[in-house]
Structure 1
Amino acid sequence: MKLEIGKIYSGFKLLNQEEIKEVNSVAQIFIHEKSGAKLLFLDNNDDNKVFSISFKTPPKDSTGVAHILEHSVLCGSRKFPVKEPFVELIKGSLNTFLNAMTFPDKTMYPIASKNDKDFVNLMDVYLDAVFYPNIYKSPEIMMQEGWHYEIENKEDDLQYKGVVYNEMKGAFSSPDSILFRKIQESLYPDNSYGVESGGDPDSIPDLTQEAFLNFHKKYYHPSNSYIYLYGNMDILDKLQFINENYLDGFNKIDVDSKIDFQEPFDNMKYLDYEYPISNSEEEKDKTYLSLNYSVGKSKDTELYLALEILEYLLLETSSSPLKKALIDSKIGKDVFGMYDNSVLQPTFSVIAKNSNEDKKEEFKDIILKTLERLVEEGIDKKLIESAINIKEFNLREADYQGYPKGLIYNIKCMDSWLYGENPYMHLEYEHILKKIKESVDNRYFENLIKKYLIQNKHCSIVTIKPKKGLEGKRKEKIKEKLANYKNSLSNSEIEKLIENTKKLQKRQTTKDSEEDLNKIPLLSIDDIDKNSKKLALEEKSIEKIKTLHHKIFTNKISYVNLYFNTTCVQQEDIPYIALLSSILGRVSTEKYNYDELSNEININTGGIKYTTETFSEKGNADRYNPMLAVKAKCLSTKLNHLIELIGEVICNSKFTEKDKIREVIQELKSRLEMVMLDRGHSVAVKRLFSYFSDSGKYEEMLSGIGFYKFICDIDKNFDSQFENIRYVLADIYNKIFNKNNLLISITCEDSEYSGFEKEIKPLIDRLNEENLKYNKYKFKFNKNEGFTTSSKVQYVAKGYNFIKLGYEYSGSLQVLRSLINYDYLWNKIRVQGGAYGSFSGFIRNGNMFFASYRDPNLKETLDAYDGISTHLKDVNVNDREMTKYIIGTISDVDMPLTPSQEGQKATENYMRKVSYEDIQNERRAILSTNKNTLKAFTPMLKDTMKDGYICVLGNEDKIEDNKDQFDYIVNLFD
């Protein structure tokens, strides 16, 4: 909508209006004159609308006040006084995104929805939450979400409890998280970036109620706010709503939220830290080394993008010179970079993982000598071209899987807007890319290296080294601190803490009144489309190979997925399939060495990935289609290059490059360890499924703990096993990439299909077509395992297969999942138990699970799972609540898909034998679910928990204390 600059609309004065071609939007910048609120609107045709309100929140200490406040404002407000409006919205909204995020210097509250009525409802709840939270009425909110002293009886020991406290205990269990925190601390000791905005568990208990409230009073004012709107909407209607309901009640004030600029260092700083490992782990090869630089300002648009390209060029590809130099010198077993431009003073880091402390100086010397050589001799132009191309492709594709692209644009806008600059400067990338391309021959990147890395004294070497017993000492120190504190208290003071604990427990267990619950805005079932979206899929044939064409507008990008059945591989070689998928594209072929191959792929495509996938069929977790998938994308005009490169990799790869294969194995081991520490709940669930389903066992062997143990073994014995590794890889490579194994999936516009058909035929002809033997695997199953680590928290999973017990899948199970997640698990595991998260899942193949994330408990959580059937039997859901759960379930089912995601989802359904009628039946079941439908699942839940298995990743002492729960206790890491 074209508005008039300088004119006032519902209190908002339009300051600027400009077309942003790169994001197909018109940007409008407003100021709310009475309150001082700033507002940016990106007007376009995207029906997935985004709203957010953000505040500049630079912390002064590491108590986590900004993070705890982010949690707490969503625990009830003036208009919506229920305990958890956030949860009520998740239950009953058609949102496509709903969350809040704490950054080192800002706090963001974004929502997204395709339904306009729902969109306004979400805006209303979020605006009321940030401006009028119930934190001033209920001190128990900070106690629950932040921290508190927990004590129920005088003779009990004091404990620290709290959601954020346990979340950050989990975060600080990961050496990667500790490293990233210490990098910021090392470079910015004198400003807000030198403290932990999320909260350091050792500092969180220093946060007082007074400081907590004062932080909100100071920073959560419209004058310190940044409001963002994106998508296809009536902006005048939205401005009127925001003004009349919220901003008109505030007057502009001065908010001191200035972020001090860290003065550059005169010399490099060295800092050493320790992280805990379990007593059973070896300390060798477990040190992290990092060389870190403060590089300019995020307000510099050209540098912002140029350093992204430089970091990719130096550290993220097989041909990246800095990565190669460090790997070849055996400094570490995994090398990667990190460029964080989401703060005023960005950081650029080179990180070597699985190294040793005595290699610190060599690490630094190799980096500096490599950079100096690149400046002196010049960087390979093909490498530069490939790095620029892959970045440009990603910018144009704008495919941000898991996040609405409007939210990604919002975050990019904050990288300048928060610091007083044009909010959309980082969205306008065309002229910067053009300048960078034109400057490549003038030593553009060489000059960047010289200025921002070699000559930059504002840098640090941070070392994070392992130490046994550290976690035990920390626990003893906290125990002693709490005991001393308790001993210092009078009887009346202890009684007061007991009273506070009981008040909190009462708040947690008291149900919201019907009157308050009814204040949360809610759509009706009539607002929901009764029909599921039909995913584009047309069965065709190319050279007698079954081909699935997904006819979707893709903006001239072709998404090519080739699926090769892998049941031709013998059972003992299954883990090698995943190893093969990691090696492909990273070893030389007959035509290209691996450096050339990497450059050719990045110059001509948007990327080629090789993954293992297991498609279990509906109704039976023991029937499945295991595949090695080649997933690639390119501009349709470059299909010939893409297909040629795929053919070169899957027909002509060499497995004789011992050092390169060793490098891949070591990096793979490192990345698996990062996943296990950061996403332990998903690892536990994957292992759990391997106890009772063939598909689960197969998948676990390819990507779970079983695969990790396999990688550890061949890494440890690599030299003696290499000839066998090479032989097996070559053998399964020749079996898998066979014409008889192939299914083709192509997502492109109709006009592009004939071009694809022409280009793919020569590749099909190159594949061998010998007859193969297909195997029927017979697996042995483990059960009930506890995997010990040095982590301060647990990931607790329990489940079974309900179809094996005689029950059937129904779409109503997805409504049950919503009810269990947000009615039972949220309250029992998160609110009362203090875990950061808890989840459940019911899959078409019958597998089901309950899992917790960053959980301080173990046995209590398992008991909570066992109590779900009793809870369901007694649950009394009224019509409004049922409507809420149905709408929230449909929100999950109807999550927007990008073109590539739609093509992959349609192929996945095809593989799983899930028809459109199945999908429509699921939707009908969801929409017709009622209280009795849910109660009818009580016997199923009781039986699955009675026969269910458990898998836990967690603290070695906690698992040992609960050893009666397990059949096997295993050290996760060697």
Structure 2
Amino acid sequence: MKFKIGDIYHGFKLIEEKNIEELNSVTRIFEHVKSGARLLHIENDDDNKVFSIGFRTPPKNNNGLPHILEHSVLCGSRKFPTKEPFVELIKGSLNTFLNAMTFSDKTIYPLASKNEKDFVNLMDVYLDAVFYPNLYSKPEILMQEGWHYELENKEDKLTYKGVVYNEMKGAFSSPEGSLMRKIQESLFPDTSYGVESGGDPEFIPDLTQEEFTEFHKKYYHPSNSYIFLYGDGNIEEQLQFISEKYLNNFDRIQIDSAIKLQKPFSKMEEVKMDYPISCDDEEEGKTFLSLNFVSGDNISQPEMHLALEILEYLLLESAAAPLKKALVDAEIGKDVFGSFDNSILQPVFSIVVKNSNESEKEKFKEVVFTTLKNLVRDGIDKKLIEACINITEFKLREADLGGFPKGLFYYITSMDSWLYDKDPTMHLEYESYLSKIKAALTTNYFEKLIEKYLINNNHSSMVILNGKKGLAEKKSKVTEEKLEKYKASLSEKQVEEIVKSTKDLKERQMTPDPVEVLETIPLLELSDIEKKVEHLPLKENDEHGVKVLSHNIFTNKIAYINILFDAKKVDVELIPYVTLLSTILGRVSTQNTNYSDLSNEVNIHTGGIHFTTDVYGENENFEKYNPKLVVKSKALISSIPRLFDIIAEIISLTKFDEKKRLKELIQQLKSRYEMKILDRGHMVAAGRITSYFSPASAYIEKTTGISFYKFLNEIEMDFDNKADEIIENLNKVSKIIFNKNNLIISVTGEKDIYTTFAKELPKVISILGDEKLPDAKYDFVLSKDNEGLLTSSDVQYVAKGYNFIKKGYSYSGKMLVLKTIASLDYLWNRVRVQGGAYGGFANIARSGNIVFVSYRDPNVKETLKAYDGICEYIENFEASDREMTKYIIGTISDLDSPLTPSMKGERATAYYIRGITQEQRQKEREEVLSTNADDIKSFKALLSDIIKEDCFCVLGNETKIKDSKEIFTNLVNVFK
């Protein structure tokens, strides 16, 4: 349909319409006349439709009100009064994305679906949730999602519990997260950015029900809303639905939600704080030093938004980054990284050194400013500028966001200006800004940016974060004493009231919603679901004696080429070197090119060359697996010749004997693994436990798990003595792996891409070894170690599981429905809702591994007990046809997650290596679609056998785990 500016469509007045070539889309800005709601529509042929509604929600203090409200509006509403409509939607919709997010100054509720009917259903539930939530009449919602006093018996210790409370305890356990929060606080003392919108656990218990409901009443009104529609949906029907069902119920009002600009500082501020480390750790070398600069604003300088993003990569992220090199050479710390936060009104540019000491702060400042001044005086290497602009441009044009819907990315980007009352398309139209930035190749563009935003910028801070032993225990004791004191001040009647409210909350949590309430949530029919599994193109070819898998998929002239080298010839004691090798390739010099110039060449001529490791377990055979070292690369078709030149040079001519550079990379890798262990503890715990009983997982543990971290720790601590041995082993592993035998290459792209690829392939094949080597023998000792993995974290990650194939069972697609039920019914209620953890998940794999794992969990024994209870739950499982349809749809939604062209090529290759055929995938889908309640009940024996193995591990708080030390076989200090 044709639109006309100024006309009104179902209550929405069209303010602006234009084509945006960068998105190949038409954008329209509407305003709802009656309610004052703003709406941005991006129309194109993308069938992955996106809706979102967001609100400007500036926090006033650290009690986490915006974050807790984000959780709570999704706990029942006027039309959909079920206790957990969000979970019901995950269980039973074809969503491709469904979530809610709290930022420093906004809260958004995005969703996506390819199915039009499903899309409208999801939109209906979300709009009802934000405008008509049940939180006004049900104070238990704040108690559950935010915080409450927990007291089961009057003689027990009084504690705090709540989903967000425990989520933020986990968030505050990450030193990097604590640093970023302190940076904002240091730079914005007079605005809402100076407080924590997510909530500080120390202050979350200050939040009252009255303050909670007042915040919703004030900010969750259409006049303060930012609505977004994207894709190939029927815009007229969507506008009519939103207007008639919701917005027409509201009148426009004035809402003061403006974000204040922070007045610039006259001089740099210095702020210090401590973060907890384990009692067995050393405080020496555990300091973060950061210099931070408020860099303009997001409302008048869209070009700077992009330019400063490029500058941060240029100075601190690229392998050729001069500021990073200067800081590493000065040996101030063991890792250097940067960030440019452009998601707020006044963006922040940060320079961070990790694993340093406070005594180095002046040297840190001196090296940073001296280096920046030298770059301004002498000029930045033009090749480096070209490389950084090129890689940024490649990513912008490629717009490959993995499984993340493009529409959601565009919505979040639009909010970088729209939230502050400016054109929402400002940051989406990047061509003109990019053209101006490209002028930097002949001018001093970036040097002027450095001068203005870094060197001569007093609106800045130095934040020092010191590791402190015993701090976690001290904070825990303070909270404990505060609660003891509070309990002692209560009358017997008040204590009994808390016991009663605890009991009432638990009863509410454990009482299922009535059937008629659950049936208010809209549900598709099984007939709405595609019965056939998606075909992933794959053709097996032979090129120059090498197996090539081609995937003829439209990629807009971008070639995705993955080279998978066989790693199973590497001896067991050298397995960790496979990952170390993958990390340093392309980041050290070759015999022809130093590593800085090599990085520039990669970024100028390609979209990236990355070396990684992967392990492909054979289909339904937990004992057999294929470890690979993978070269992942992408480039425009015209750049394939140069791409292969660079790959061949890295593979055949890398210099492993640059000891200084090698040490730097090992230190950086160790630092990143420390971050991973604290931030993604559920994945670490799940990987650790499966290594107790799965040979493939035992291998993975040595390449990416805690075992690999221990290996890094060992070689980093004694690098000077071990350097020659490390270099020798890297050379040895490199010669074994870079061999054309058992080589597989995956090529994703159009036919002309394959033609160019085949022509240029000999450049790589010719430099590979051809010696036939025997497979190494990996006789891993598998044992039930039941470890307590000790860290300074404030929360736990509790994992339990075993392998069902080892117990004599076979894989079935019906197990995926069991996984949906276990995760979203049983574990959601027992571990999250009742237990207070941020999450609880089940994972069931073709390899036979079943793992239950919790995320940011306050408990240890209680969660293990909850896992044990799943057998009884499944034994008594009952579900109507409607409920089973819901579980099946949710399972299919998981199976049908959207894949980008590159992901399709990688998925098809993985299926090929693992021996999973199209017929087996179709059989799995049919098994999912035919699952009934009796099938689910039939898994009781399997689950009983898994639980009886009593195989578990817990990663988390040292004190909490030691309090339960009697259940563990081993206690391991992770970072020692």
TM-score, normalized by the shorter chain, greater than 0.5: yes
The offset of 1:157, in angstroms, is 1.8
- Name the residue aligned to 2:180: 180
- Name the residue aligned to 1:912: 914
CA contact (8 A) 2:571 2:777 kept: no
In the alignment, the residues of structure 2 paired with residue 762 and residue 137 of structure 1 have an alpha-carbon distance, to the nearest angstrom, of 70
- Name the residue aligned to 1:353: 354
Per-residue CA distance 1:262-308 (angstroms, 9 max, x = gap): 00000001111001111111111111110000000112210000000
Q: Secondary structure at the match of 1:29?
A: strand
TM-score, normalisation: structure 2:
0.99
- Name the residue aligned to 1:929: 931
Q: Give the 5 Å matches for 1:53-452.
A: 53-299=53-299, 300-452=301-453
The AA in structure 1 aligned to 2:840 is: S
The AA in structure 2 aligned to 1:601 is: V
Q: Secondary structure at the match of 1:569?
A: coil
- Name the residue aligned to 1:637: 638
The AA in structure 1 aligned to 2:406 is: K
The AA in structure 1 aligned to 2:574 is: D
Larger deviation: 506-515 or 70-79?
Answer: 506-515
In the alignment, the residues of structure 1 paired with residue 203 and residue 951 of structure 2 have an alpha-carbon distance, to the nearest angstrom, of 38
The offset of 1:401, in angstroms, is 1.8
Q: Secondary structure at the match of 1:786?
A: strand
Q: Secondary structure at the match of 2:854?
A: strand
Q: Secondary structure at the match of 2:570?
A: coil
In the alignment, the residues of structure 2 paired with residue 775 and residue 575 of structure 1 have an alpha-carbon distance, to the nearest angstrom, of 14
The offset of 1:636, in angstroms, is 0.8
CA contact (8 A) 1:566 1:741 kept: no
The offset of 1:2, in angstroms, is 2.9
Q: Does 2:670 align with 1:669?
A: yes
In the alignment, the residues of structure 1 paired with residue 753 and residue 171 of structure 2 have an alpha-carbon distance, to the nearest angstrom, of 47
Larger deviation: 105-114 or 732-741?
Answer: 732-741
The offset of 1:88, in angstroms, is 0.2
In the alignment, the residues of structure 1 paired with residue 892 and residue 557 of structure 2 have an alpha-carbon distance, to the nearest angstrom, of 31
CA contact (8 A) 1:297 1:346 kept: yes
In the alignment, the residues of structure 1 paired with residue 395 and residue 485 of structure 2 have an alpha-carbon distance, to the nearest angstrom, of 56
The offset of 1:495, in angstroms, is 2.2
The AA in structure 2 aligned to 1:424 is: T
CA contact (8 A) 2:403 2:898 kept: no
The offset of 1:752, in angstroms, is 1.8
In the alignment, the residues of structure 1 paired with residue 348 and residue 466 of structure 2 have an alpha-carbon distance, to the nearest angstrom, of 21
- Name the residue aligned to 1:956: 958
CA contact (8 A) 2:787 2:969 kept: yes
Q: Does 2:712 align with 1:711?
A: yes
Q: Give the 5 Å matches for 1:602-751.
A: 602-751=603-752
CA contact (8 A) 2:302 2:427 kept: yes
CA contact (8 A) 2:624 2:696 kept: yes
The AA in structure 1 aligned to 2:500 is: E
In the alignment, the residues of structure 1 paired with residue 431 and residue 936 of structure 2 have an alpha-carbon distance, to the nearest angstrom, of 54
CA contact (8 A) 1:837 1:853 kept: yes
The offset of 1:619, in angstroms, is 1.1
CA contact (8 A) 2:403 2:897 kept: no
Per-residue CA distance 1:713-745 (angstroms, 9 max, x = gap): 000010000000000000110111011141110
The offset of 1:781, in angstroms, is 2.6
Q: Secondary structure at the match of 1:18?
A: strand
In the alignment, the residues of structure 2 paired with residue 389 and residue 315 of structure 1 have an alpha-carbon distance, to the nearest angstrom, of 16
The offset of 1:948, in angstroms, is 4.0
The offset of 1:908, in angstroms, is 0.5
Per-residue CA distance 1:791-814 (angstroms, 9 max, x = gap): 111000011000010001000000
- Name the residue aligned to 1:878: 880
Larger deviation: 158-167 or 487-496?
Answer: 487-496
Q: Give the 5 Å matches for 1:458-607.
A: 458-607=459-608
The offset of 1:491, in angstroms, is 2.1
In the alignment, the residues of structure 2 paired with residue 171 and residue 105 of structure 1 have an alpha-carbon distance, to the nearest angstrom, of 18
Q: Secondary structure at the match of 1:558?
A: strand
The offset of 1:490, in angstroms, is 1.8
In the alignment, the residues of structure 2 paired with residue 761 and residue 406 of structure 1 have an alpha-carbon distance, to the nearest angstrom, of 40
The AA in structure 2 aligned to 1:96 is: T
The offset of 1:492, in angstroms, is 2.2
Per-residue CA distance 1:536-595 (angstroms, 9 max, x = gap): 110011001000001000000000100000111111100000000001001111221101
Per-residue CA distance 1:902-934 (angstroms, 9 max, x = gap): 000000111111100110000000000000011
CA contact (8 A) 1:9 1:236 kept: yes
The AA in structure 1 aligned to 2:646 is: L
In the alignment, the residues of structure 1 paired with residue 920 and residue 356 of structure 2 have an alpha-carbon distance, to the nearest angstrom, of 52
In the alignment, the residues of structure 2 paired with residue 440 and residue 446 of structure 1 have an alpha-carbon distance, to the nearest angstrom, of 11
- Name the residue aligned to 1:889: 891
Count of residues in correspondence between the two structures:
974
The offset of 1:151, in angstroms, is 1.2
Q: Secondary structure at the match of 1:740?
A: coil
Runs of 4+ in 1 over 6 A off after TM superposition: none
Per-residue CA distance 1:647-682 (angstroms, 9 max, x = gap): 000111011100110011000000001010000000
Q: Secondary structure at the match of 1:90?
A: helix
In the alignment, the residues of structure 2 paired with residue 254 and residue 727 of structure 1 have an alpha-carbon distance, to the nearest angstrom, of 70
CA contact (8 A) 2:877 2:936 kept: no
CA contact (8 A) 1:536 1:906 kept: yes
Q: Secondary structure at the match of 2:766?
A: helix
The offset of 1:957, in angstroms, is 1.2
The AA in structure 1 aligned to 2:197 is: S
Per-residue CA distance 1:436-485 (angstroms, 9 max, x = gap): 11243220000000000000000000011011111111111111111111
In the alignment, the residues of structure 2 paired with residue 738 and residue 821 of structure 1 have an alpha-carbon distance, to the nearest angstrom, of 43
Per-residue CA distance 1:227-264 (angstroms, 9 max, x = gap): 00000011000000001100000000000001111000
RMSD, aligned α-carbons: 0.8
In the alignment, the residues of structure 2 paired with residue 439 and residue 558 of structure 1 have an alpha-carbon distance, to the nearest angstrom, of 28
The AA in structure 2 aligned to 1:710 is: F
The AA in structure 2 aligned to 1:423 is: P
The AA in structure 2 aligned to 1:466 is: G
The offset of 1:499, in angstroms, is 2.2
The AA in structure 2 aligned to 1:152 is: E
In the alignment, the residues of structure 2 paired with residue 88 and residue 202 of structure 1 have an alpha-carbon distance, to the nearest angstrom, of 32
Q: Runs of 5+ in structure 1 lacking a partner?
A: none
The AA in structure 1 aligned to 2:926 is: R
In the alignment, the residues of structure 1 paired with residue 848 and residue 130 of structure 2 have an alpha-carbon distance, to the nearest angstrom, of 42
In the alignment, the residues of structure 1 paired with residue 351 and residue 196 of structure 2 have an alpha-carbon distance, to the nearest angstrom, of 21
Percent identity over the alignment is 59
In the alignment, the residues of structure 2 paired with residue 308 and residue 277 of structure 1 have an alpha-carbon distance, to the nearest angstrom, of 32
CA contact (8 A) 1:621 1:696 kept: no
Q: Secondary structure at the match of 2:26?
A: strand
The AA in structure 2 aligned to 1:365 is: E
The AA in structure 2 aligned to 1:820 is: A
In the alignment, the residues of structure 2 paired with residue 296 and residue 131 of structure 1 have an alpha-carbon distance, to the nearest angstrom, of 35
In the alignment, the residues of structure 1 paired with residue 639 and residue 403 of structure 2 have an alpha-carbon distance, to the nearest angstrom, of 27
The AA in structure 1 aligned to 2:812 is: S
- Name the residue aligned to 1:943: 945
Q: Secondary structure at the match of 2:265?
A: coil
In the alignment, the residues of structure 2 paired with residue 757 and residue 362 of structure 1 have an alpha-carbon distance, to the nearest angstrom, of 53
- Name the residue aligned to 1:798: 800
CA contact (8 A) 2:269 2:460 kept: yes
Q: Secondary structure at the match of 2:351?
A: strand
In the alignment, the residues of structure 1 paired with residue 443 and residue 380 of structure 2 have an alpha-carbon distance, to the nearest angstrom, of 11
In the alignment, the residues of structure 2 paired with residue 357 and residue 794 of structure 1 have an alpha-carbon distance, to the nearest angstrom, of 30
CA contact (8 A) 1:30 1:40 kept: yes
The AA in structure 2 aligned to 1:625 is: N
In the alignment, the residues of structure 2 paired with residue 543 and residue 480 of structure 1 have an alpha-carbon distance, to the nearest angstrom, of 73
The offset of 1:848, in angstroms, is 1.0
The AA in structure 2 aligned to 1:788 is: L
Q: Secondary structure at the match of 2:678?
A: helix
In the alignment, the residues of structure 2 paired with residue 593 and residue 719 of structure 1 have an alpha-carbon distance, to the nearest angstrom, of 23
In the alignment, the residues of structure 2 paired with residue 773 and residue 818 of structure 1 have an alpha-carbon distance, to the nearest angstrom, of 42
Q: Runs of 5+ in structure 2 lacking a partner?
A: none
Q: Secondary structure at the match of 2:201?
A: coil
Q: Does 2:902 align with 1:900?
A: yes
CA contact (8 A) 2:695 2:782 kept: no
